[in-house]
Amino acid sequence: MPDLLDIIAITWFVSLWIGYTWFAKRRAKVQSCLSYELRRKRTDWMRKMLSRENNMPDVGLISTLERNVAFFASSCLLIMAGLLTAMSSADQVSAMLTKLVPWSTATGSGVQLKILFITFIYVFAFFQFTWSLRQYGFSGVLVGAAPDGRAMTDEEKQLYANRTAKVLDQAGHSFNYGLRAIYFSLAALSWFIHPLLLIIASVIVVAVLKQREFHSAVLKALRLC
């Protein structure tokens, strides 16, 4: 059974994950970030798509995005299979950790619990990636069913572009949630060594995510485009 320090560490880990997700969602409404800039670009993309006679390049781009998401979804399945297989060797993993890291607090049952926890993280990521995949499919349908922009008013074009971009945006959010889960799963690996390392690693992951989403060089480039 996990001791008090384990409970504190995992509570801290989950709180940071949920807290950062809430913070990023709220902050994006008042500060420029990757989500905001990408939503603006998606709207421009859909508006320009309506003015083109041939939408195949747009369908091709969405298909490329789908393949990227499908890669992560299939990777999650492989990782989950590996984690569940590792549960049968928990005692060997515990012995290995004790030899490599003398201060490790890992036990056979503790290793199994930690593997199961990380498995749940990848289950969550898999659901997010597959939902993102479906939403990109919906976006492809909307692009394929787009009316002739030459027969539409500017207001109708803007309305259709906004609605299609919204679906694309939701697909991007789901993909981002899945990637965020993978980031936090890497922090959870430190739990095998010591709960205090999990606390530290969780803070590092949040700092990396915040820097990339709100202060990265690619964000500055997107603002200028």
User: Per residue in 181-193, pLDDT tens?
Assistant: 999 999 999 998 8
Q: Provide the CB-side half-sphere exposure for 137 (13 A, CA).
A: 8
Is residue 225 classed as helix, strand or coil in its secondary structure? coil
Confidence of residue 106 (pLDDT cuts 50, 70, 90): low
**How high does pLDDT run on average in the chain?**
89
Confidence of residue 105 (pLDDT cuts 50, 70, 90): low
- Region 115-140: mean pLDDT is 96
Q: How many residues does the chain have?
A: 225
- Region 104-130: mean pLDDT is 88
How do the domains of the chain map onto residue ranges? 59-197
Question: Higher confidence at residue 223 or residue 78?
Answer: 78
Neighbours of 29 (CB within 10 A): 9
Report the distance separating Cα 164 and Cα 50, nearest Å.
11
What is 122-175 written as a DSSP string? HHHHHHHHHHHHHHHHHHHHHHHT---GGGS-HHHHHHHHHHHHHHHHHHHHHH
Residues 68-103 have pLDDT tens digits of 999 999 999 999 999 988 888 777 877 777 777 766
What region, left, alpha or beta, does residue 111 occupy, with left being phi > 0 and alpha being psi -120 to 50 degrees?
Answer: alpha
pLDDT at 99: 75
Question: Higher confidence at residue 10 or residue 28?
Answer: 10
